[in-house]
């Protein structure tokens, strides 16, 4: 579906196609990166209002599953060029501000120590109470005048603790993005405190932070975007280890993209035409500058609304999802389905402002966002939806077969104790029912011999089955 005609240099489809020619990366992965950039620069400038009672941030949490070699870093670096340059400028400015702060702190410390010395002397030597009282007042005043560092919030982080993130968002320009094209380590660090806090930021809530040493501070009207790319197997492993990660609601708030592979189709080409990419850079620069100026001036966010035609489409989408929940078709991912209409409105608002530079969402932008929303539902359901017994057995069997091959020493080791697999095998198979299902599936498919009556129970890889199927 195309939002605009091909002559428009801000056309999203043409931008995706051009970046695909340049990088030969999968188009869903590219679109996810584009959306994350739009979310990053627009989240401090606009909110979206579906109805008078539902106004929300446009910040997006995007999770892209893509295998190794799919050009994740290449795409991210290409599309984030403007943000990376702006972030480098912020880092340079912060270094200057740190130097100025250190100089002010050194001068303050000298003055404080001088007054402190005079005050101690007045306590040990005969002097008037008025002098001592005056020096004490000056000492208190000096503590109040202690310089404070006011660093600018980075607009991009690859990894950051939740404490540092919230502290940064308590400043003047309270908008940032957590982004990683290899998010395995970051995902492993997303504990329940972290996930709870980012959920509140996605919702646009105020967060009160109390710290024993640093004192209390408030994160108010802050905006956080997230763009995490991760390999499917790494993601599956993390989810299996952190079984309750879905219970936090963070995954339900994410636009879930399963990117197909383009490997095997990436024949050598040269593309010197960057028409749409250059237009993208110019537009992102203009939006960022306007957003920064608004934040610095304390201007309220602009409210993007739905046109009557767009609202009709959004309501139809909302009702369709609700109907599917009622039928049970989305019951296994009801947490995700309940948030998708909210995310669709956010995506439509980003597309509208980027392409048309106005604040009333048109029907075509909404339809584009809805189509994307359905794709996200399908992707999420393929990973988290309830599978048939046969589908689950095949999935577990594939996991076990890969593990057996990796541990077979190129075919020299063919026998594996069942107890050893249970103890040291993949996490998904450290469950008796799952392991049994995988073993019987591989046995029935002719990949292994299963000696279940033997003591101890063991399995044997059949010859010619040492390579992944």
Beta strands across the sheet bearing 46-51: 54-57, 46-51, 302-306, 360-361
Residue 381 pLDDT grade (very low, low, confident, very high; cuts 50, 70, 90): very high
> Is 168's pLDDT higher than 90?
no
CA distance 80 to 85: 9
Burial 115-140 (b: 16+ CB within 10 A, else e): beebbeebeeeeeeeeeeeebeebee
Q: What residues contact residue 406 under an 8 Å CB cut-off, 6+ apart?
A: none
∠ CA 449-452-455 to the nearest 5 degrees? 115
Specify the CATH number for the domain of residue 398. 1.10.10
φ and ψ at residue 182, rounded to 5 degrees? -145, 75
Higher pLDDT, 468 or 389: 389
Same domain, 101 and 34: no
User: Which domain covers residue 407, as residue numbers?
Assistant: 389-461
Point out the domain boundary residue: 384, 416, 437.
384
Q: What residues contact residue 294 under an 8 Å CB cut-off, 6+ apart?
A: 44, 45, 301
Same domain, 63 and 132: no
Same domain, 369 and 235: yes
DSSP symbol at 467: S
Q: Which two tokens stand for residue 185?
A: 């380590």
Same domain, 175 and 261: yes
Closest CA to 197 of 249, 132, 260: 249
Residue 441 lies inside a defined structural domain of this protein? yes
Q: Which two tokens stand for residue 121?
A: 């002397």
Q: What residues contact residue 39 under an 8 Å CB cut-off, 6+ apart?
A: 58, 59, 60, 62, 177, 225, 227, 346, 350
What integer is the mean pLDDT of 298-320? 96
CA distance 5 to 35: 20
Residue 35 lies inside a defined structural domain of this protein? yes
Residue 119 lies inside a defined structural domain of this protein? yes
Residue 42 lies inside a defined structural domain of this protein? yes
CA distance 330 to 378: 10
Point out the domain boundary residue: 332, 358, 384.
384
Same domain, 56 and 97: no
**Cα of 236 vs its chain's centroid, Å:** 17
CA distance 288 to 354: 12
Q: In the prediction, which pLDDT does 6 show?
A: 39
43-67 pLDDT, tens digit each: 999 999 999 999 999 999 999 999 8
Name the percent of the chain lying above pLDDT 90: 51
Q: What burial class does residue 273 get, using C-beta atoms within 10 Å of its C-beta: 0-12 exposed, 13-18 middle, 19+ buried?
A: exposed
Q: In the prediction, which pLDDT does 410 show?
A: 61
227-265 pLDDT, tens digit each: 999 998 888 888 877 767 888 899 999 999 998 777 766
Same domain, 394 and 378: no
Residue that is written with structure tokens 């383009």 in the block: 262
401-452 pLDDT, tens digit each: 989 988 887 656 788 999 999 999 988 898 889 999 999 999 999 999 999 8
Residue 16 lies inside a defined structural domain of this protein? yes
Quick one: three-class SS letters along 145-205?
CCCCCCCCCCCCECCCCHHHHHHHCCCCCCEEEEEECCCHHHHHCCCHHHHHHHHHHHHCC
Least confident window among 47-61, 121-135, 307-321, 447-461: 121-135
pTM: 0.78
Specify the CATH number for the domain of residue 288. 3.40.50
φ and ψ at residue 357, rounded to 5 degrees? 55, 40
- According to DSSP, the residues that pair with 229 across neighbouring strands are 64
DSSP symbol at 425: S
Residue 86 pLDDT grade (very low, low, confident, very high; cuts 50, 70, 90): very high
2-44 pLDDT, tens digit each: 344 334 789 999 999 999 999 999 999 999 999 999 999 999 9
How many structural domains is the chain composed of?
3
CA distance 368 to 364: 6
What integer is the mean pLDDT of 89-96? 86
CA distance 196 to 249: 8
Same domain, 379 and 393: no
Same domain, 190 and 315: yes
> Is 69's pLDDT higher than 50?
yes
Same domain, 134 and 264: no
Residue 467 lies inside a defined structural domain of this protein? no
Same domain, 295 and 428: no
CA distance 447 to 393: 14
142-158 pLDDT, tens digit each: 888 888 877 777 889 98
Residue that is written with structure tokens 């994350």 in the block: 36
Q: What burial class does residue 450 get, using C-beta atoms within 10 Å of its C-beta: 0-12 exposed, 13-18 middle, 19+ buried?
A: middle
Residue 4 lies inside a defined structural domain of this protein? no
Residue 468 lies inside a defined structural domain of this protein? no
Same domain, 225 and 355: yes
Is 325:271 a contact under the CB 8 Å cutoff? no
Higher pLDDT, 408 or 399: 399
Same domain, 348 and 456: no
Point out the domain boundary residue: 367, 384, 401.
384
């Amino acid at each position: 579906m195309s939002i605009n005609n091909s002559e428009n240099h801000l056309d999203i489809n043409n931008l995706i196609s051009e970046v695909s020619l340049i990088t030969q990366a999968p188009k869903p992965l590219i679109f996810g990166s584009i959306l994350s950039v739009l979310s990053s620069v627009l989240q401090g400038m606009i909110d979206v209002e579906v109805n008078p009672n539902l106004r929300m941030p446009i910040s997006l949490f995007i999770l892209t599953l893509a295998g190794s070699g799919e050009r994740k870093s290449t795409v991210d670096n290409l599309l984030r060029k403007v943000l990376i340059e702006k972030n480098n400028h912020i880092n340079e400015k912060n270094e200057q501000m740190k130097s100025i702060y250190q100089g002010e702190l050194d001068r303050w410390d000298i003055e404080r120590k001088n007054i402190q010395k005079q005050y101690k002397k007045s306590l040990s030597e005969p002097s008037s109470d008025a002098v001592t009282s005056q020096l004490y007042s000056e000492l208190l005043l000096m503590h109040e005048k202690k310089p404070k560092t006011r660093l600018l919030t980075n607009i991009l982080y690859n990894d950051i603790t939740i404490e540092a993130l919230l502290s940064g968002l308590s400043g003047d320009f309270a908008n940032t993005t957590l982004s990683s094209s290899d998010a395995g380590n970051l995902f492993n660090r997303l504990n329940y405190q972290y996930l709870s806090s980012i959920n509140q930021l996605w919702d646009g809530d105020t967060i009160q932070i109390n710290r024993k040493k640093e004192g209390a501070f408030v994160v108010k009207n802050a905006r956080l975007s997230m763009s995490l790319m991760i390999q499917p197997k790494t993601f599956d492993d993390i989810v299996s280890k952190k079984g309750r990660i879905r219970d936090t609601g963070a995954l339900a708030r994410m636009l879930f993209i399963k990117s197909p592979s383009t490997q095997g189709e990436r024949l050598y080409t040269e593309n010197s035409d960057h028409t749409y990419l250059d237009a993208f850079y110019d537009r992102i620069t203009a939006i960022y500058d306007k957003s920064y100026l608004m934040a610095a001036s304390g201007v309220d966010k602009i409210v993007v609304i739905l046109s009557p035609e767009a609202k009709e489409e959004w309501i139809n989408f909302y009702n369709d999802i609700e109907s599917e929940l009622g039928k049970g078709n989305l019951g296994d991912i009801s947490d995700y389905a309940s948030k998708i209409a909210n995310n669709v409105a956010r995506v439509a608002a980003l597309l509208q402002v980027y392409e048309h530079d106005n604040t009333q969402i048109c029907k075509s932008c909404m339809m584009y966002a809805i189509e994307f929303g359905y794709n996200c539902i399908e992707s999420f359901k393929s990973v988290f939806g309830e599978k048939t017994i046969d589908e689950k057995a095949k999935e577990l069997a594939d996991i076990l077969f890969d593990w057996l091959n990796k541990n077979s020493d190129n075919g020299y080791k063919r026998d594996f104790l069942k107890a050893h697999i249970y103890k040291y095998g993949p996490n998904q198979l450290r469950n008796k029912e799952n392991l049994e299902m995988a073993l019987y599936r591989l046995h029935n498919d002719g990949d292994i011999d299963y000696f279940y009556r033997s003591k101890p129970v063991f399995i044997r890889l059949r010859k010619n089955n040492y390579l992944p199927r």
